C-alpha cells in the first residue's frame, strides 16, 4: 500500500465514505485500542502524540505497517472519547493548505487583504503568516510585530498567535503589538471584544480598552477608557527619531530612485514624522527640503542632496 492509497483511505474514512472492508478494519483497531487504552490524561499531550504518530505512519516508506500505526494513533482519540475532534488536523495534514508570508520593511506600513476579506495593516518590521484559504474551525494567523486588524464577522473564530499573546475574536477591530523583542506586548481594542490568552490566563478586552502584559513582572494590566493610537494605519511610512540617511534609504527602496548626499551633517540629522499613502515622491522631497533647508537636484531617477 502506497502513500496515495493511504491518503484516499483516510479521506474516505473521515468523510464516512470508506469501503466496508476498510471501515471494518479501522474500526477493529479502534475497538482494540479502546480495550487496551493507555492514553495520557493531558488532552494536549494526547493531541500531539496522535498527530505525531499519524504523520510517522503516513511517510512513504511505511507500507503494510501503516494500518497498524495509523489505526493505533486514531485509537488514542477514541480513548479520550473525542475521535472526531482531531479530524480537522488530520485532514489538513493530508491536504496541506499553502501558507503565505508578508514582511513589511522598517518604516513602512502595508495593508493586506486576508482570505476571508478581513483587513490587516502591518507596521514596519512586522511579519505575518496566514493560509491561502481559511479551512476548518478557526481562521488562524501568526504575527510577529505590530498590526491592526479589522476582522469580518464569522461563526469561525479568528485567532492571532503572537510570540507572547494569543488573541481570539469573532468580528472586531483592534491593534496587536507583540514581537520577540518587546517586553510589554499589548492588545488595544477599537470596536467589539476580544479574548487575550497569556499562558493559562484568558482576559476579555472590550472597546476602548488595552491589555498590556509585562513580561519581566509576569503581570497583566487592563487599562480602561484608553485612547487607541491609530494614526499610523493610514500612513505609508512612519519615522520616529530616525536619521535622514535612514529616511533617504527608505525612499530609495519605495520609489526605486538613487539618493546621494555627501554631507554628513545632513545625513545624521534626526527626523520624526509620517507620510500619507497619498503623498508622492515630490511631496516627500518637498517636506524634507523645507524642513531642513536642503537643496535638491533631480534628474531622472537620481537625486542629489546638498
Residue 220 has pLDDT above 50, yes or no: yes
DSSP letter, residue 41 = S
Which pLDDT does position 25 carry in this prediction?
66
Q: In the block, which residue shows the cell 507500507?
A: 63
CATH number of 232-305: 3.55.50.30
Per-residue pLDDT reduced to its tens digit, 89-117: 555 655 678 899 999 998 899 999 999 99
Q: Which of 10-19, 222-231, 260-269 has the highest mean pLDDT?
A: 260-269
Which pLDDT does position 88 carry in this prediction?
56
Of 188, 305, 225, the residue nearest 258 (C-alpha) = 305
Which pLDDT does position 29 carry in this prediction?
55
**Which of the four pLDDT bands, split at 50, 70 and 90, describes residue 148?**
very high
* Range of lowest pLDDT (12-21, 193-202, 297-306): 12-21
The alpha carbon dihedral of 131, 135, 140, 146 has a sign of positive
CB contact set of 126 (below 8 Å; sequence gap of 6+): 103, 104, 143, 144, 145, 146, 147, 179
What is the average per-residue pLDDT within 8-23? 69
Q: Which residue has the higher pLDDT, 228 or 12?
A: 228
* Range of lowest pLDDT (84-88, 148-152, 195-199, 243-247): 84-88
Per-residue pLDDT reduced to its tens digit, 127-146: 999 999 998 889 999 999 99
Domain extents in the chain: 3-94, 99-229, 232-305
Of 107, 109, 124, the residue nearest 277 (C-alpha) = 109
Q: In the block, which residue shows the cell 518590521?
A: 125
Question: Which CATH number is correct for 99-229, 3.40.50.970, 1.20.1250.20, 3.40.30.10, 2.60.120.1440?
Answer: 2.60.120.1440
Taking phi over 0 as left and psi of -120 to 50 as alpha, with beta for the rest, 212 belongs to beta
Cα 182 to Cα 110, 209, 217: the distances in Å are 21, 20, 13
Q: Which of 36-50, 68-82, 127-141 has the highest mean pLDDT?
A: 127-141
Per-residue pLDDT reduced to its tens digit, 234-244: 888 888 899 99
Which pLDDT does position 226 carry in this prediction?
74
What is the average per-residue pLDDT within 19-45? 57
State whether residue 260 is helix, strand or coil. strand
Percent of the chain with pLDDT over 90: 51
Rounding to the nearest 10 degrees, give the CA dihedral for residues 87, 91, 93, 97: -130
Common-topology check for domains 99-229 and 232-305: no
Average pLDDT, the chain: 80
**Which of the four pLDDT bands, split at 50, 70 and 90, describes residue 292?**
very high
Amino acid at each position: 500500500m502506497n502513500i496515495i492509497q493511504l491518503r484516499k483511505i483516510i479521506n474516505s474514512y473521515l468523510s464516512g465514505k470508506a469501503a466496508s472492508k476498510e471501515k471494518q478494519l479501522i474500526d477493529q483497531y479502534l475497538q482494540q485500542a479502546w480495550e487496551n487504552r493507555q492514553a495520557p490524561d493531558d488532552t494536549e499531550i494526547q493531541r500531539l502524540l496522535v498527530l505525531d504518530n499519524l504523520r510517522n505512519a503516513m511517510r512513504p516508506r511505511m507500507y503494510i505497517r501503516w494500518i497498524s500505526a495509523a489505526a493505533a494513533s486514531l485509537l488514542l482519540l477514541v480513548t479520550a472519547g473525542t475521535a472526531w475532534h482531531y479530524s480537522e488536523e488530520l485532514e489538513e495534514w493530508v491536504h496541506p493548505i499553502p501558507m503565505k508570508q508578508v514582511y513589511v520593511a522598517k518604516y513602512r506600513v502595508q495593508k493586506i487583504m486576508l482570505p476571508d476579506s478581513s483587513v490587516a495593516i502591518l507596521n514596519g518590521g512586522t511579519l505575518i503568516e496566514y493560509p491561502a484559504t481559511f479551512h476548518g474551525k478557526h481562521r488562524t494567523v501568526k504575527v510577529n510585530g505590530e498590526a491592526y486588524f479589522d476582522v469580518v464577522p464569522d461563526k469561525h473564530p479568528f485567532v492571532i498567535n503572537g510570540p507572547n499573546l494569543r488573541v481570539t475574536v469573532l468580528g472586531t477591530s483592534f491593534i496587536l503589538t507583540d514581537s520577540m523583542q518587546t517586553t510589554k506586548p499589548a492588545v488595544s481594542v477599537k470596536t467589539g471584544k476580544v479574548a487575550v490568552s497569556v499562558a493559562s490566563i484568558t482576559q476579555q478586552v472590550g472597546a476602548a480598552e488595552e491589555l498590556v502584559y509585562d513580561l519581566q513582572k509576569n503581570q497583566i494590566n487592563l487599562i480602561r477608557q484608553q485612547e487607541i493610537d491609530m494614526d499610523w494605519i493610514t500612513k505609508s511610512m512612519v519615522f520616529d527619531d530616525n536619521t535622514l540617511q535612514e529616511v533617504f534609504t527608505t525612499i530609495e527602496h519605495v520609489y526605486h530612485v538613487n539618493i546621494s548626499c555627501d554631507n554628513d551633517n545632513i545625513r545624521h540629522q534626526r527626523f520624526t514624522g509620517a507620510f500619507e499613502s497619498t503623498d508622492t515622491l515630490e511631496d516627500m522631497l518637498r517636506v524634507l527640503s523645507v524642513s531642513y533647508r536642503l537643496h535638491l537636484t533631480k534628474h531622472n531617477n537620481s537625486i542629489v542632496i546638498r
